[in-house]
Structure 1
Amino acid sequence: MIKVLFVCLGNICRSPTAEGVFRDKVKKQNLSNYVSTDSCGTAAYHVGSPPDTRSLQAGIARGYDFTDLRARKVKLKDFDEFDLICAMDQNNYDDLIAFAPDQHHQKVIKFLSFAMNFSEEDVPDPYYGGPKGFERVLDLIEDASDGLILKLKDTLQR
């Protein structure tokens, strides 16, 4: 089982969207027995809260369901438990590297490094913006999820 963790700041917009989209794509590729997902935030602002309503609405419009997800803060044991820790932006990446034990730094990667059709390096935080920001986040996350699935399929075939 390959365990993937998606991380943003508060775990109510970007990382639960990434978890929900990626989980759906994993299921559609019949990889659920081989890949598991979770998400969290580097801050504890929203622990226990569901994803932002705007994230939920944007996801539902594209056929995704993240209503079962709840925000949590990253824990030290996550670095032991997960094989890949995907940061949504540079700040999250830096926070994760600062928190992670040295032997787990190689597990932390910026999620958009898997994007195939976009050159952005960071998934922008849509929290203070309008609906277009949530659509853009979905575009980036869908693309990076497809790229990550290709990489994981290659890894699983070895």
Structure 2
Amino acid sequence: MKLLVVCLGNICRSPMGEGALRARIERSPLAGRIEVDSAGTAGWHHGKPPDPRAVACARRHGVDISGLRARQLQPADFLHFDHILCADPDNLDDALALAPPEARARAALLLPWAGITAASVVPDPYYGDDTDFEHSWTLLEAAAEAAVQRLSARPDSGIIGP
């Protein structure tokens, strides 16, 4: 299975989400069975590392995202990835605008897709401070944990057999 986490610039939320998912997956029975990547709906930061505040936040939680590089979401991503998981409704709308019609169902909001019901949006911490990055991390970590539980428990997930 292949998961793509998407935000606006691919320097804050989506690389933190990628890092949180990878870390959770590596510590689970799903290790080696799921590919995780991230992208942004805008290409402003293409080729750049994550925001230093995102790197520091992830590092405080034992996850290294410093080697990731921003890239822009492409229509071909909808054919490569099983799920395109967006941080907020604006990112979802922008992603859907790129999606081939037959692959539109692959796009969803990350938190509800993972089973998080208390929130549906991962807020953009870019214009905030460390507290905002920590809040986004908390949501992304909860989504990663819920996603691993969901994919491990569902026989139809394509990951774990009946």
The TM-score range, normalised by the shorter chain, is: over 0.9
Task: Give 4+ residue runs of structure 1 displaced > 3 Å after superposition.
Answer: none
- Cross-structure match for 2:121: 122
Deviations 1:97-138 (A, max 9, x none): 11101111111010011244x611110000000110000001
- Cross-structure match for 2:61: 62
Q: TM-score, normalised by structure 2?
A: 0.93
Quote the Cα distance in structure 2 between the aligned partners of 1:90 and 1:79: 17
Q: TM-score, normalised by structure 1?
A: 0.95
- Cross-structure match for 1:77: 76
| Aligned 8 A contact 2:74 2:98 in 1 | no
Unaligned runs of 5+ in 1: none
Unaligned runs of 5+ in 2: none
Q: Give the partner amino acid of 1:58.
A: C
- Cross-structure match for 2:107: 108
Quote the Cα distance in structure 2 between the aligned partners of 1:30 and 1:15: 23
Deviations 1:22-66 (A, max 9, x none): 001110114232101000000001000000000011111111110
| Aligned 8 A contact 1:115 1:143 in 2 | no
Deviations 1:49-100 (A, max 9, x none): 0000000111111111101100000111101000011000000001111110
Report the 3-state secondary structure (helix = DSSP H, G, I; strand = E; otherwise coil) of the residue aligned with 1:7. Answer: strand
- Cross-structure match for 2:160: 157
Q: Percent identity?
A: 38
Q: CA deviation at 1:157?
A: 2.5
Cα RMSD between the aligned structures? 1.1
Q: Paired residues, what number?
A: 156
- Cross-structure match for 2:139: 140
Quote the Cα distance in structure 2 between the aligned partners of 1:33 and 1:63: 20
| Aligned 8 A contact 1:115 1:145 in 2 | no
Quote the Cα distance in structure 1 between the aligned partners of 2:75 and 2:96: 11
